Structure formats: structure tokens, C-alpha cells
Structure 1
Amino acid sequence: MELSIRPYRSDDWEDLYEICVRTGDNGADASSLYPDPRILPDIFVGPYLALEPELAFVVADAADAADAADGADGEGGDRALGYILGTADTRRFVARYRDEWLPKVVDRYPDDGGRGSELRRPEVMLSPIADAYPAHLHIDLMPQAQGRGFGRRLMDTYLAALRERGVDAVHLAMGAANVSARAFYDRLGFSELARPVPGLVVMGRSTRL
């Protein structure tokens, strides 16, 4: 399968939602964990695509893209198999999330003390870390795109976009149980910054390493 990295397009939306769900349990499929698994991408994908689509990049099936351009019946047609997305300014993002994104989705999910409550409380993203490391990101790859260097290439693409915007540092949050993700971030120069709650690790790095 020939893959390439390109900017996000609006017709990638559902592909990225599916990737988020299929990797949402520490890299494994989270489809069975929630009554409506779309709550995961409504927290971790949708607001970024809606508010800062210029900072979203995808790994796509380049062969399918060529088939589509030639008018062939390529299965899936330029199907996204991975993504990186985020914000250049976490504090500004949280304000826009509450004002612009939350009203569109909040009525779909109960305030149940779990993900439904997380959806309603974007302020948990705000801490002194967000001042020192103002950008943050989410990255996920389907198995077809793993082990081929695309995670690093997505990260390089995203960090370059942050540098163009004058952003000096970025952070991310990950499940402490996701050992393979931790090894990946360690290799890319991320350092552990905090463990704000059990099971969650926050890591960060300069955009210029």
C-alpha cells in the first residue's frame, strides 16, 4: 500500500472519527467501550477539525488517490489511515471549544461522570503546562500505517507548522498503559512533565529540537 502525508480535507472527517475510535483504547479498538463511541472523536478530533483545520494532517492511501484521479473505482478513494492534529494555543482553543464546539455536541451525551463529563469540561486542558508548552496535539495511526516511519513524519510536519506560527513548545497527554506510544514519544525527544491523574502522563518538548 502506497501512503503519503497531506493536509486534512473536509471529506476526511469520518475517516478520522473512525481512526480515533479504532485506536481509542490505548491503541486498541474502543468501539465496545461506550454506548456511543463517537464521544471519543467528539472530544479528541472534531473540535480540532472544526476550529483549527490548518493544523491537521493525514496519512492517506496514495494509490487510492491516484485511482480516484484517473476515474478508477479505487476502494475507499484516498482513504485516511492516520492523522495528527491539535492547536497552537491551548488557552485560546479552550475558549473557542466552549463557545463554538460544545453547543453543537453537548446534547448528544449525558453528564455521567465519565466521557460525557470530560466533554463538558475543556478547562482540564488548562494548567501551568499550557503556559510553558502552549500547543498540544493528538496523533493516531491505523495498523496499516504503523511501523513505516509515518508517525515521525507526521510529527515533523506538525512541528514545522507550529514553528511557522512562532510556537516554541508543545505537549500531549497519553495513557500511562500505552507502552509503545511512550517509547515512540521518548524517541522523538518528548519528556515527561506531569501525571495529573492516575493513568495519565503529560509529555512535552520544544518544537525546535
Structure 2
Amino acid sequence: MSVIRPYRPSDRDDVYEICVRTGASGADATGLYSDDDLLPDIFTGPYVTYQPDLAFVVDSGDHAAGYVIGVSDSRAYADWYAREWLPAFAARYAVQDAPTEAERDMIRFGLDPSTSIVPEVADYPAHLHIDLLPELQGQGFGRALIRRMLEELRERGVPAVYLTMSPSNAAARAFYDRLGFHELPSSRPDGPALGISTSAVV
């Protein structure tokens, strides 16, 4: 029976795999880039390194098959990323060595800590990422993970949280809409940014 529990350091490989297998707008991104660690080194690794107590996984019994991860202070996270995470990332991923423009764009994204900040960050200080393997989708785990994250943030006095997403991931957008996320003023058709109060009932 699958259960939601706090992240453990031993889950790192699993959460990296989940990130890759859902990294192409919800589809499998394995082989999409020359190094499969590129996506999780941007969207997963730094989060569970910086604030592992704001990471929760769905444990299927023998592996983690879904997660929600986040930070309670996005500006502090961006400062940490630039100082502590970026040097090793930049040494591993060189824009000029990437074989495709898509990969070069993704590396540039990872090289810019400001990508984790929306203009509304003062009112929405936290942000999150959530991913589930297909084996867990449609069973209520996504809603339960968001609920757990909102509870944790609310207990820490964080008023609201945001996320950014790929505009081509229609299933994810429908999921966020059902839970009550709303578009932020800075949201664009090519770069949706959605927010929700941590006191929301989801």
C-alpha cells in the first residue's frame, strides 16, 4: 500500500528518476538531453539539498513513485542556489558543449537562479514542484501531496505558494485548476505561473 511520508536521503535516486520520467511536460524525458541528470539537477536535487524537510514522497513499498518538494522562502533559496549549488552545476554543464538548442536553453535556465522567482514573491514567498509516476496518477496522491505541502507551509507561517509549469502540460494545468490554483498577474501563456493560499482547502 502506497503511503506519503517525509523524504529521506536514500530517496534521492528515486526522486531523480521521477523527475526524468515526468520531465517532458509530464511524459518521459529519458534520453531527451545528453545527461539525464540535467533536469533533476535543476528541479529536484537543489531542493532536497536545501530544504529536505519540505520534501514528501509517495512510498509504494519498495521505491518512491511521486513527490512534492518546495522551499518556504524563494528569495533565500535563490541566494543559496547561486552561492552553493551553481558552481558545481556550471562546471558540469557547459552551454557551448550542449548538442541541441533545447539543451542549451535548459542549461541556461539552470544557470540563472532568478528563474525560481516570480514578481509576486512578496505575497507568495514559497514555491513547489510536484511529480507522480504514471502508476500513481489518478488515485488522489497528487491532491494529498499538495495538501501536505500546504499544511507544512501554513504551520511555518507562510501565507501562499506558487509554481511555474510548462504550458503544454494540459493534464497538470487541469489538476491545478481543480485544486484552486489561480493565475498570478505575471502569468503568461508561454510561462504559466499559478498561486494558492496555504489556507486553501484542497
> How far apart, in 2, do the equivalents of 1:49 and 1:8 lie?
8
Name the CA distance, whole Å, in 2 between partners of 1:8 and 1:127: 26
TM-score by length of 1: 0.88
Does structure 1 retain, via aligned residues, the 8 Å contact 2:68–2:130? yes
**Residue number in structure 2 paired with 1:170:** 161
Alpha-carbon separation, structure 2, partners of 1:89 and 1:183: 26
- Residue in 1 that maps onto 2:65: 81
Q: How many corresponding residue pairs?
A: 192
Q: Which of 96, 117, 138 is residue 108 of structure 2 equivalent to?
A: 117
| 1:14-93 alignment, distance < 5 Å | 14-61=13-60, 64=61, 78-93=62-77
Q: How does 1:149-168 map to 2 (within 5 A)?
A: 149-168=140-159
Partner SS for 2:193: strand
Unaligned runs of 5+ in 2: 97-103
1:200 partner SS: coil
| Per-residue Cα deviation, 1:87-136 (whole angstroms, up to 9, x for no partner) | 00000000001111112322111125411111110112233221221100
State the TM-score, normalized to the length of structure 2: 0.91
Corresponding residue number in structure 2 for 1:74:
none
What is the percent sequence identity of the aligned residues? Answer: 51
Task: Could you tell me which runs of 5 or more consecutive residues in structure 1 were left unpaired when the two chains were aligned.
Answer: 65-77
> Which is worse superposed, 199-208 or 119-128?
119-128
Please list the CA deviations of residues 30-83 of structure 1 after superposition, one character each: whole Å capped at 9, or x if unmatched: 11221112110000000001000000000011xx3xxxxxxxxxxxxx300000
> After the TM superposition, which parts of structure 1 deviate over 6 Å for at least 4 consecutive aligned residues?
none
Structure-2 separation of matches of 1:5 and 1:144: 15
- On the 8 A contact 2:180/2:196 being kept in 1, the answer is yes
Counterpart of 2:78 (choices 94, 97, 100) is 94
* Higher Cα Rg, which structure: 1
- Counterpart amino acid of 1:166? G
Q: Secondary structure at the match of 2:27?
A: coil
Equivalents in 2 of 1:154, 1:126: separation in Å?
22
Shift of 1:152: 0.4
Counterpart code for 2:44? V
RMSD between aligned residues:
1.2
Structure 2 SS opposite 1:147 = coil
